[in-house]
Structure 1
Amino acid sequence: MNSSSRAILKGFLDMLPLCLAVIPWGVLCGSLAIQNGFSALETQAMSLLVFAGSVQLVAIELVAGNTPLLTILFTSFIISSRHFLYGLAVRHKVIEQPLRWRLPVSFVLTDELFAFSHHRKAYRTKIRLIYALSAGFSFYIAWNLWTLIGIVAGSMLPDLTHLGLDFAIAATFIALVIPGIKNLASLVTVIVAGVSATVFKSSGFELWLVCAALLAMSAGYLTTRVTRNKDSNQ
């Protein structure tokens, strides 16, 4: 087995646990869309083209609730904006690579692949690019497969939302976020996000997710500024 084949296999195997972890999430996404009036083609196309589980689930709920288009677009933009930050974070690692490498990497740069991107040599060589694309596209294929299963399940079985599958969303993000809490600012951001989202959601506020995210980012930024000022004065 040559180095490229080993990189493909390793990327697939490293991503496999996360591919399996989002089975409930993907099934829920597919079945929820079907049960809210989306066609099978529309549901699968959303996973093929959007490829963002949190945005898909929120958009499905908003569309089903006859939410104004501007609110749907704005909410989706805010939720997806983290991918812009992911791109900025890895830009210096891929900027010297040809466009034929950068474009597919940018497409599969999800939360899961970004969690693999912290190694100092990530994306810097052909073998590491092959590894990243193997991991990213294996997750893409898995996500679309779970969506398809959800479409079938949503068409044949009763409402699956009562089975608690949506907990997979929280569980997956907890597993991704917790290892990233390495300083006070990130801890404050996570706490403020969780508390404010809970309060806003329970109060019935329509833009609860957007406002919680903005509030958490602001709290994290202010904490960083205060911490730096204290360090500089010591």
Structure 2
Amino acid sequence: MLPLNLAVLPWGILCGSLAIQNGFSALEAQLMSLLVFAGSAQLVAIELMAKDVSFVTLVITTFIISARHLLYGLSIRKKMIDKPLKWRGPIAFFLTDELFAFSHHHRAYQGKLRLVYALVAGASFYLAWNLWTFFGIVAGQYLPDLTNLGLDFAIAAIFIALVIPGITNTSTLVACIVSGLSMLYFKTVEFEFGLVAAALLGMTTGYLLQTKEDKS
């Protein structure tokens, strides 16, 4: 997890500084990372709140963005279903995109040692995220607007690194392409639910293609 902990540094700094520059108190900004612990949802929520969008738009958008964690949980359910709640609860909380990327090995979460490994890996990312958020909070109070430094590219870079290895078939590739192109179009026309619509279009396309491949 160490490379990912370091790679998320600009992302965390951006999140903390963006919160401060949009009227959050230092405590509110830090609590957001401590309690929500969802980088993409936090950044989107901060920007939407800064634009004074409706509460319904805020809830629906962050819900859709975070809904992928339900899929993560379903994906590793067979590996965790026989584990007691003292293991399932903490691992569920720490199950970020980064930890999920390491969950595909057939022996993941099998045995106490691997459960401890998963918890330590997830906790290390949690600590790093909150530490970088703190740095961003401090920077946001004493430095000029950090959003102009291009730190938000860290978000794209990390997700590209996580997604590319998972593109192993045509349906997944097409789903990614459809989502990307749809988002570019919706961004151009300034569609308020563009992110949600692009994600749904990509998932639907991928599902239909995968279903067709399974039947053939």
TM-score range (shorter-chain normalised) is over 0.9
Q: Return the alpha-carbon distance in structure 2 between the equivalents of residues 204 and 195 of structure 1.
A: 14
| Aligned match for 1:90, one of 62, 76, 85 | 76
| Aligned match for 2:176, one of 183, 186, 190 | 190
Q: Return the alpha-carbon distance in structure 2 between the equivalents of residues 50 and 188 of structure 1.
A: 31
Determine the structure 2 residue equivalent to 1:175: 161
Q: Return the alpha-carbon distance in structure 1 between the equivalents of residues 126 and 184 of structure 2.
A: 30
**1:215 aligned to 2:215?**
no
Q: Which structure would you say has the larger Rg? A: 1
Q: Return the alpha-carbon distance in structure 2 between the equivalents of residues 123 and 96 of structure 1.
A: 11
| Aligned match for 2:123, one of 133, 137, 140 | 137
Q: Return the alpha-carbon distance in structure 1 between the equivalents of residues 110 and 164 of structure 2.
A: 26
**1:69 aligned to 2:45?**
no
| Aligned match for 1:156, one of 113, 128, 142 | 142
Q: Return the alpha-carbon distance in structure 1 between the equivalents of residues 194 and 43 of structure 2.
A: 15
C-alpha displacement of 1:202: 1.8
- Unaligned 5+ segments in structure 2 are none
| Aligned match for 2:105, one of 108, 119, 138 | 119
Q: Secondary structure at the match of 2:41?
A: helix
Q: Secondary structure at the match of 2:141?
A: helix
Determine the structure 1 residue equivalent to 2:188: 202
| Aligned match for 2:37, one of 36, 46, 51 | 51
Query: Deviation string for 1:43-70 (max 9, x for gaps)?
Result: 1000000000000000000000001111
Give the root-mean-square deviation of aligned CA atoms.
0.6
Q: Return the alpha-carbon distance in structure 1 between the equivalents of residues 188 and 27 of structure 2.
A: 33
TM-score (norm 1): 0.91
Query: Deviation string for 1:172-214 (max 9, x for gaps)?
Result: 0000000000001110111011110111012111111000000
Determine the structure 2 residue equivalent to 1:29: 15
Determine the structure 2 residue equivalent to 1:11: none
TM-score (norm 2): 0.99
Q: Return the alpha-carbon distance in structure 2 between the equivalents of residues 221 and 180 of structure 1.
A: 15
Identity across the alignment (%): 66
Q: Secondary structure at the match of 1:221?
A: helix
Q: Secondary structure at the match of 1:153?
A: helix
Q: Which amino acid aligns with 1:115?
A: A
Query: Deviation string for 1:120-142 (max 9, x for gaps)?
Result: 11112100000000100000000
Q: Return the alpha-carbon distance in structure 2 between the equivalents of residues 154 and 204 of structure 1.
A: 28
C-alpha displacement of 1:226: 2.0
C-alpha displacement of 1:225: 1.9
Q: Return the alpha-carbon distance in structure 1 between the equivalents of residues 38 and 181 of structure 2.
A: 24
Q: Which amino acid aligns with 2:30?
A: Q
| Aligned match for 1:147, one of 111, 133, 143 | 133
